[in-house]
Structure formats: structure tokens, C-alpha cells
Structure 1
Amino acid sequence: MRILYDDQIFIYQRWGGISRYFAKLIAHLPADCTPVVGVSVSPNVHAVELPGVKPYRGLWAEDGVLPAGLARGRLVRKLREAHLRRLNRPHLHALLRRNPPDVLHITLDFDDDWLPLLGDIPFVYTVHDLIPERYWQSPVYFEQRKRLAARAARLIAVSENTRRDCVHFFGVPESKVEVIYHAPTLPAPSVEETADTSSAPFLLYVGTRNRQKRFAWLVEALAPLLRERPALRLVCTGASFTRRETVLLRRLGIARRVSAEFYDDADLARLYGQASAFIYPSEYEGFGLPILEAFVAGCPAVLAEASCFPEVGGDAALYFAPEDADSLRACLVSVLDDPAQRAALIERGRARAAQFTWEETAARTAAVYRHVIGK
């Protein structure tokens, strides 16, 4: 059974959750699945681990000859994406025309120029979240996603919460959507790394700070706790703070207690292992992979009781009412000051994470492939 994965995510994303998901999925497919990747040149750090994919070294490369600030700007990004499409799309189209796969699994939903080439080849569409429908204002993109969902032989949703959203926003029957969970992607930190107590205690925030992430609400809620506990810090992963965020942190009097920095996988795993707690204040996610990452590292998780978080976290996390700052602070005080509570959360978290594996994700995805081709 030949499965073709298109080039989209490996063009538009240099690193991140969706490209990592496809790289892990491809690496763990069962023996009766032969993956074919419709990309030959990619800037994506996960794609270059796949057979036959070379790293992108063109003029517009983010780590090439251009100054970093220019290379990461919107204009150069658009030029880079256009160049990558010119390099890769003929390869994808040739695979569809000359050596058709049994199934196409699209990796993203930005482009649909491949649709006329499909003929009777079924395609599978993984829906990672409905953030565009909930938060963006892009009717053309919404309609494209809805068309793809209607045309797809099968949808994969990464949580029951996301399946409900697929039914609501796309208008597809629930029976068309298969729920297949993600699995942890980061390695567990070493005992030596988690035992390091040389740094001051800190809380950990992971990911972007988009609207639905509620970062501004989080720092407003944390400010009294940080002022009460002078040694406690908030460490954030990702881009440097925007001007607006810096102004907010200064107004709250906690600018010196909150930091933001990019971390690679090894350092992120170490951060999880050393953090006093991981906080997830977001009001909506498709799956919430950082929850499992925290569990694997032995980091207590304090989550908003919203979206798919109870579905993923189960009884291994503490939950706070999404709009209740007192509830959040009470959860954190419990983790910070109660060793028994902390130990219990760590134990339950590791057991919970063990229930999610890439072998299971790949096996269930392969079953979807077999279903759509009638095997």
C-alpha cells in the first residue's frame, strides 16, 4: 500500500507540531505501508530526516546569506515559499500522474492545485484544529477547508473536541471523522538534568502567544504570585516579547521575572524537567501536545479546564476555571508548596503519557488508509 504525502507542510513550516507529526507518523508506519514523500527540497528540520529529501540552500533560505532579520521577514518568506513550490510541485504532480499512490494524505490545506490530478485516488485529511474558523477572518480559506473536508475520503481529528468542531464547522457527518491522538515527541530529560537545583524555581509557558493562548491574561493572573515570591520566575519559549507585551510586563512590575527565548528539543525537555509547573492557559487547542511533553518530563501540569485539555490530561493534571485568576494561583500554590501533591501529579502524568504512542497513532492511521481503499 503506497501512501503519498504532499509537499505543503514541508514548504510552509520550518519546524513545528504539524511537520513533526507527519515525520513521526511516516517513521512509525507498519510494514504494509510504503510512504512516498512528495517533496525533494525542504527547509523543514523534520523533513530532512526523511529519505530522499535534501535541505533547502537557496538564496531565500532563512539560514542562508541574507541577514537574519530580512530572511525572517514576510516578503522573503513569500519569495522562499514561491521558490520552494517551483522546486517541489512538479515532483508531486509527476508522482500523481505517472505512479499514482493508493492513498494521498495531504499535510496541509493551503493549496489545492493537486485536486484535478487525483482522478479516483482517495485522499485523507488530518484536521489539527479549527483555529482558522474560530479566530481568523478569511472566508476564502474557510471555504477551501470545507471543500477539502467534503471531498476527502476520510478525516482524521486529533481529539474528540476537534471532531465535534469538524462536524460543526465543516458540516460533515461524525462517522466520516476518525479520532487519532498524537503522542509525545520530546525525549525524557536525564536524571542529572532534572536534579539540577542551581537555578531559581520557575513556571513554564510553552508555545506562541496568539490570541487564543491568553498570555496577557496569564501574566496579569500571575503577577500577585510573582510579587509574593521574589525567587519565582516565568520562563516562556518562543519569540522575544513584542513591544506591547514588554509594556504590559513593565506595568505589572514583573518584567525582570519573565523571559522568552527559543529552545531546541533537548533544552526544552530539560526545561520541562526542571520547571516547578507547566501552565497552559489557552482557551482552545486541537490537541495540546505540550501537556504530554510535560508529563513525560515529570513536570506537573496546571491547565485551563477548556477545549481538549481534560480529554488529554485526564486525572494527571490540575485544572483551573479559565477566567478565574484565583483558581489558577491556588493550583500553582498547591504544586509549589505540597510535595505529596507534586509527587502524585508526576506519577500520574508519566502513566498518562505512556498511553499515547506513535506506534498506536501510526497503526490506527494505517487502518484508515486500508478503509478508504477497501482493504
Structure 2
Amino acid sequence: MRKPLTIGVDIRDLRVAKTGTKTYLEELCKAFKQMDQSNICFHFLDTSLPIYTGNNKILKWIEHFKYQLWKQLVLPLKAFFKNCDVVFCTDNFVPFIHLGYQTVPVFHDAFFFENPENYGKLWLWLYKKMAIPAAKRAAFIITPTEYAKQQIHRFTQIPNEKLVVVYEGPKSLNETKSNNQPEQLLKAFSILPLQYILHVGSMFKRKNIPTLITAFAKVKKAGFEHLKLVLAGPIPPAANETDYKLILEAIKKNQLQNEVVLTGYLPDTALSQLYQNALLYVFPSVNEGFGIPVLEAFAHNIPVLVANNTCLPEVGGDAVLQFDPFDTDAVFTAIKTVLEDAELRKEMIRKGQIRLQRFSWEKTARQIVEVFKKAV
């Protein structure tokens, strides 16, 4: 009888990852565990050492060393003793050495090359000296969109035939729909159902939130005084990554202190409630590798407006209304157009439901397993 295909999944990143990268690994692990295990065996490999997540510079450097020790020594040995055929890592870094297994990393985007100013020098050095050489030795590299694939190929010269596009799915927030007391959350933030525009995501610079705030101020002046803007998401700890100061300045400049709601980090239950009661979802980011909130908004029957760049048109298709994220008037006009047309909102919701059928973590998991099979 043939030995089942044995996959070592590196889950150490669940201890430190946030936002989209954490969602990716969590959802894939769920999908892998639900698959038929007769011909494939998954080992979920983790470190036993504590992980430092604070801001002390020396301790952060030590943590970088521990991370590479895990990737280049401990993980390979664990995979070897588990007789793994493939080692799968969703956080860019895979083992450089191959102890009888193939490796498959996930490169979510090309941010390291496109915006190096947002990363520490040590992290950039490790990425270029460790992640890229190890990826070039991998059997295949998973990317989430055609756009991400093009950018990764452009900056790394990794052959296109090694870069495999596998779309993602929406975060599993559906289980919270049974909650029948969303009014408590809405009351806490002084918002009403269908009386606010929503944006979900950490306040990274690339999210372009100050532009959204300025456009929202124009919307208020155009006759939509009752609307509020809800910005749901944590503040990145690194000063070189966050736009939080500019966001506060934009709120103050436009006198929107009582009209823009900053929720900070929220658990999935609260996020689901915000999605369920939002009037519109607006995604003005100037750079994304995939954009999971687009699918989350589709899943909650919200009209979605997105920037007309990077991967967002690829993910949203004909279900989204696009705008130039560098033009505040264009963002304002797009929002105003959807707000004034109830039939357009219904049509966007309908198309969003159709578009959503293309994406699921079950499909993602099945396609990635096919990549594993090709790798061995």
C-alpha cells in the first residue's frame, strides 16, 4: 500500500502573525484538518520556545536569531523525523536545506521590495539573504493573485513556472451571525445600523486611510450628515509602518472627531456585527497582495468600493466599483454615486454573492495539495 503524502505545516507563525497572514494560516489549517486523510497526512509543526513580541531592540534581535534557528535547524529536523514529503510555510521563509523533503513557501506580496522603508534593516537583510535563496530552492511558491505573482517575479527573477497562483477565501465570521444582540456593540461606538461606511484593517501606510477620511468629509458636506465612518483595526506597533498620526490629523483637520470611529482591535464576533450592519465597504489601499476584507464584505451583503490598482480589481471583478485612490475627489464621487443609488447597491450586492462563489478555503486547500503532489 502506498505511503500517504506527508506534509509538515509550519504553524509557529500563529503565535505572532496578525491580520491577513494569521487568517491565511488559521483558515488553511482548518481546511487541511477537514480533508480526507486517507491519502494525505498533515503534521502541524510548532516550536516549544516562547516568542518575544515586545519592542526591546536587543530582545528583538535575539528573537530574529531564534526564528532563523527554528527555520533552518529545528523545523528541518522535526520534518525529517516525521518523514515529511513536503514542508509548507506561509510566512515567506522555508528551510534552505532539504532533508528528504521538498519545500513550498507562500509569498503573499512583494512589499519588501516595493516599500523597503517600512521594514527594519535586519529583517530586510534576512529576507534577501535567507528567504529568497531558500525560495529559489523550493519546488513551488504559492502566491495569492496574478498581480502578486507578477511583482514577485519582477523583483526576484524567480521563474514564472515556479510561482503558482492560489486564491484565498473570506475569514470564517459566519458563525457569529446567530448573535442577536449587535445593538450593544453599535451602541458602544455610537453608530446605527446602515448608517456608517466601514473599513477593516490595520492602519498601515499603504491602506491610504487619510485619503478616505478626507473623501468622507466631502460626503458629509454633500448631504449625508447622518453617516459615520468606522475604521476597525489595530495600530501597527512600528512607527515606520503606521499612518495613525496622519489619520488623527485628518480627523482633526476635517472636524470629524465625532464622526469617525476608531475601534482598535476587535474579536471576530464584533467584526462580524460591524460587517452585518454596514451600509458600504470602502477599500482605498494603494497596495495589496490579496485583500480578504473584499470577500468578507461580499459574504455580509455589503456593496464594495475598491481602489483601481494592484490586486483589488482582480479579486473584486465586476462586483466592485473602482476609483483612483490617489484622487480624493474620485473617492468621494464613487462613494456618493453608490449612496445615491439604491438599485446600484442591490446590484452590487447580487454580483458580490456571485463573485464570492469563486473563493473558499476548501478550494484553496485542495489546490495547494495539488501543488504538494506535483512537488514530490
* 1:340 equivalent in structure 2: 343
* 1:257 equivalent in structure 2: 259
* 2:238 equivalent in structure 1: none
Check if 1:303 corresponds to 2:306.
yes
Distance 1:238 1:119 in 2: 41
Residues 301 and 26 from structure 1, CA distance in 2 versus in 1: closer, same or farther, beyond 3 angstroms? same
* 2:104 equivalent in structure 1: 124
The CA deviation at 1:39 is 0.6
* 2:42 equivalent in structure 1: 35
The CA deviation at 1:244 is 4.1
Are the counterparts in 2 of residues 288 and 309 from structure 1 also a CA contact under 8 Å? yes
From 162, 166, 179, the counterpart of 2:165: 179
The CA deviation at 1:331 is 1.8
* 1:3 equivalent in structure 2: 7
Check if 1:209 corresponds to 2:185.
no
Question: Relative to structure 2, which stretch is displaced further, 141-150 or 353-362?
Answer: 141-150
From 213, 231, 234, the counterpart of 2:229: 234
Map of 1:71-110 to 2, 5 A cutoff?
Answer: 73-74=55-56, 78=60, 81=63, 92-109=75-92
* 1:47 equivalent in structure 2: none
Are the counterparts in 2 of residues 124 and 154 from structure 1 also a CA contact under 8 Å? yes
Residues 246 and 323 from structure 1, CA distance in 2 versus in 1: closer, same or farther, beyond 3 angstroms? closer
The CA deviation at 1:153 is 0.8
Check if 1:359 corresponds to 2:362.
yes
Question: Relative to structure 2, which stretch is displaced further, 197-206 or 161-170?
Answer: 197-206
Are the counterparts in 1 of residues 199 and 232 from structure 2 also a CA contact under 8 Å? yes
The CA deviation at 1:279 is 0.7
Distance 2:24 2:114 in 1: 23
* 1:218 equivalent in structure 2: 212
Distance 1:340 1:156 in 2: 39
Aligned residues between the structures: 344
Distance 1:309 1:214 in 2: 14
Structure 2, unpaired ranges of 5+: 236-242
One-letter code of the match for 1:348?
K
3-state secondary structure, aligned to 2:258: helix
The CA deviation at 1:5 is 1.6
3-state secondary structure, aligned to 1:115: coil
Structure 1, unpaired ranges of 5+: 43-55, 63-71
The CA deviation at 1:236 is 0.5
The CA deviation at 1:258 is 0.9
The CA deviation at 1:355 is 1.6
The CA deviation at 1:145 is 3.1
Check if 1:190 corresponds to 2:194.
no
* 2:96 equivalent in structure 1: 115
Check if 1:156 corresponds to 2:124.
no
One-letter code of the match for 2:82?
N
Distance 1:331 1:2 in 2: 49
Distance 1:348 1:231 in 2: 27
- TM-score with structure 1 setting the length: 0.82
The CA deviation at 1:74 is 4.7
One-letter code of the match for 2:43?
V
- TM-score with structure 2 setting the length: 0.82
Question: Relative to structure 2, which stretch is displaced further, 200-209 or 341-350?
Answer: 200-209
Distance 2:149 2:369 in 1: 19
**Identity of paired residues, percent?**
25
One-letter code of the match for 2:372?
Y
